[in-house]
Amino acid sequence: MKAFAALYRELDATTSSLAKQAALQHYFLSAQAGDAAWAVYFLAGGKPRQIVPSKLLRTLAQEAAGLPKWLFDESYDAVGDLAETISLLLPAPTQSHELGLAVWIEQRLLPLRKLAPELLTETLRAHWDQLATDERLVYFKLMTGGFRVGVSKLQVTQALAAVGGIDTKRVAQRLMGYLHISGQPTAEDYALLVAPENSGELNQKTSGQPYPFFLAHPFNLPLTQFDAVLGVPENWLVEWKWDGIRAQLVRRAGQVWIWSRGEELVTERFPELAAMAAALPDGCVIDGEIVVWRNDAESADSKAGKVQPFAQLQKRIGRKTIGAKMLRDLPVVLLGYDLLEYEGQDLRAKPQFERRAWLDQLIEQLAQPQLLPSPVLHAASWDEFARQREAARSMGVEGMMLKARAAQYGVGRTKDVGVWWKWKIDPMSIDAVLIYAQRGHGRRASLYSDYTFAVWDGAPDQPERKLVPFAKAYSGLTDVEMAKVDAVIRKTTIETFGPVRSVKPTLVFELAFEGIARSPRHKSGIAVRFPRMLRWRIDKPIAEADTLETLSALLPTVP
């Protein structure tokens, strides 16, 4: 319990992912397996049902602290967190203990649920009389079901992978279902998480591992150069560029795994896709895009549906549990565009058009409403494609994908065995890095809500490159997002100049703007019109933000 409370405090105190990773690994390396089993459970987002109702706990704590209700409430207002308020208000402990997390959970916390109400007060008092303030915080957070600390499931997964010396994706697979263990996570469960890979896992036929994603390159040349650079359109497979979640659906050995591009296992977030995948034959991997897909015209044919804005998909990503209402209101489909494995055979070295043909055939055979082909677009010339592309904004897509007909499925952002281009439309958007923040006004008076954004002045391989400010924006975020950004700004401030702070670059936002022009008055040499934040790119490291070159490519060509 002491070690876990110390870990909680460390994770809570820092915003540095490296420091969090170090703290997690240190904990897992030194903890007893039984304690670590519960630690993984809570840190990865597992939640036992509420053990003691908050209202009752509040009353008991107020009595134990010997305070009138109004003063307890004032204290709660100042602290803003019930578990923390209680831990600070209770009388100092008179006892101590050396018990681990597992004992506290299994023998003390969980049995409270079955305890007769008249015994509860006495038992709780005996518990907290043994706990120091930081242990109490964890104890009450576990009890009220409000356990939350700034680590993601992915970070926990990475720490376990490092501790076990195994692949992160392997740990992610093993963690599937871990949080739903109806009983309790045991020392054996934990040992299995970090054990060396077994033969079943190492065998491709039974492994849930995805293939490394093949990534596209931006394509921003003027249309007049298309023929010269790309050749004839017949050599290319052209599709819409969807604004969703890139995903691989892996079907092997009677099981299903859905992996996002960030190599995060997202199977549980998309139960309808997991169910659909049961119809796939074993030894089959599909690459595609998960999008919210809704048919406004109430037609039964799912193909008549339409992709919905990314913001809707985001609502689903944010949820831990996907309820029936959400499944109904925000239905997703997988728009398949590549077949990487079929009947257990790795198809990645086959040409793009062959893989695509097999995929189309498979999708047609399966006839699953949640698995649709990403349509292949046709035109006689690049000019015609460009005209088609003008509909992109109204269709809610980002532009077009141009895939070389003969391309193999490469590894990562490579061009050696073929190429994928992303030909984005002009409603210009750029991934930029927040470098200055200023306090807002009125309702936002205490918040850092007005931001200055920058792009890189060189490619990622230039170590000397710098961030150049180019736009200010203050709209587009929700209040919740803004509060989070505000907290990060306060923690990463480098210098304060009056109401302005310079911050350590950590935050990437997608900025949209209506117009762009050269401007000698701006440091970047570029001015944009009506910039606003489209979304917070939590998934993007700052190194992947756009460059001055990509920004300049958006400038209208001089006639």
Partner 1 sequence: MTNLVVARPEGLYCTAGDFYIDPWKAVGRAVITHAHSDHARTGHGHYLAHTHSEGTLRARLGAITLQSEPYGKTIEHNGVKISLHPAGHVLGSAQVRLEHKGQVWVASGDYKLEDDGTCAPFEAVRCDTFITESTFGLPIYRWATPAALSLEINEWWRSNADAGRASVLFCYAFGKAQRILYGADPSIGPIVVHGAVEPLNAVYRAAGVRLAPTLSVSDTSVNPQLLKRALVLAPPSAQGTPWMKRFGNYSDAFASGWMQLRGARRRRGVDRGFVMSDHADWPSLQKAITSTGAQRVFVTHGSVAIMVRWLNDHGLEAQGFKTEYGDEDMSEPPTANSASAS
Query: Does 25 sit near partner 1 (CB under 8 A)?
Result: no
C-beta separation of 379 from 389 below 8 A: no
Separation of first and last alpha carbons in the chain: 70
What is the smallest separation between the CB atom of 489 and partner 1, expressed in angstroms?
10
Cα–Cα distance, 244 to 288 (Å, whole number): 10
# residues contacting partner 1 (CB under 8 A): 32
- The answer to whether residue 497 forms part of the interface with partner 1 (CB under 8 A) is no
Residue 524: closest CA among 470, 471, 473: 470
Least Cβ distance, residue 20 to partner 1 (angstroms): 12
Instruction: Answer yes or no whether residue 17 interacts with partner 1 by CB under 8 A.
Output: no
Shortest Å distance, C-beta 12 to partner 1: 7
Q: Is the dihedral of CA 544, 548, 551, 553 positive or negative?
A: negative
Cα 112 to the center of its chain, rounded Å: 35
Length of the chain: 559
Residue 13 makes contact with partner 1 by CB under 8 A? yes
Q: Exposed/middle/buried for 238, CB within 10 Å: 0-12, 13-18, 19+? A: buried
Residues numbered 255-314 forming contacts with partner 1, rule: CB under 8 A: none
15 binds partner 1 (CB under 8 A): yes
Q: How far is the CB of 331 from partner 1 (least distance, A)?
A: 38
* 33 counts as binding partner 1 under rule CB under 8 A: no
Integer angstrom CA distances of residue 73 from 11, 62, 89, 92, 163: 28, 9, 11, 20, 44
CB of 95 to partner 1, least distance (A): 17
Question: In angstroms, what is the minimal distance from the CB of 425 to partner 1?
Answer: 40
Site string for partner 1, 455-494 (x = CB under 8 A): --------------------------------x--xxxxx
Taking the complex as a whole, how short is the minimal distance between the CB of residue 51 and partner 1, in angstroms? 21
From the list 68-76, 201-209, 358-366, 386-394, the region that binds partner 1 by CB under 8 A is 68-76
Q: Which residue in the set 92, 297, 324, 349 belongs to the binding site for partner 1 (CB under 8 A)?
A: 92
Q: In angstroms, give the least distance from the CB of 8 to partner 1.
A: 10
- For 418-460, the DSSP string reads B-EEEEE-SSEEEEEEEEEEEE--GGGTTSEEEEEEEEESS-T
Residue partners of 156: CB distance under 8 A and separation at least 6:
24, 40, 43, 44, 175
Please identify, among the stretches 61-69, 158-166, 179-187, 321-329, the one whose residues bind partner 1 according to the rule CB under 8 A: 61-69
**Any contact of residue 89 with partner 1 (CB under 8 A)?**
yes
- Residues 546 and 510: their CA atoms lie apart, in Å, by 10
Among 296, 343, 461, 495, binds partner 1 (CB under 8 A): 495
Helix pair angle (187-194, 168-175), 10° resolution: 150
Using CB under 8 A, pick the residue from 2, 6, 14, 246 that binds partner 1: 14
Tell whether residue 446 is a contact of partner 1 (CB under 8 A). Answer: yes
Using the rule CB under 8 A, give the single segment among 34-42, 88-96, 269-277, 429-437 that binds partner 1: 88-96
Residue 165 contacts partner 1 per CB under 8 A: no
66 — phi, psi (to 5°)?
70, 40
Q: Check: CB of residue 518 under 8 Å from CB of residue 397.
A: no
Tell me, rounded to whole angstroms, the distance of Cα 97 from its chain centroid. 39
Q: Should residue 94 be labelled a site residue for partner 1 when binding is judged by CB under 8 A?
A: no
Question: Would you count residue 70 as binding partner 1 (CB under 8 A)?
Answer: yes
Output the smallest distance, CB 262 to partner 1, in A: 26
Adjacent-strand bridge partners of 335? 289, 372
What residues make contact with partner 1 under the rule CB under 8 A?
A: 12-15, 19, 65, 67-68, 70-71, 74-75, 77-81, 84-85, 88-89, 92, 137, 446, 487, 490-496
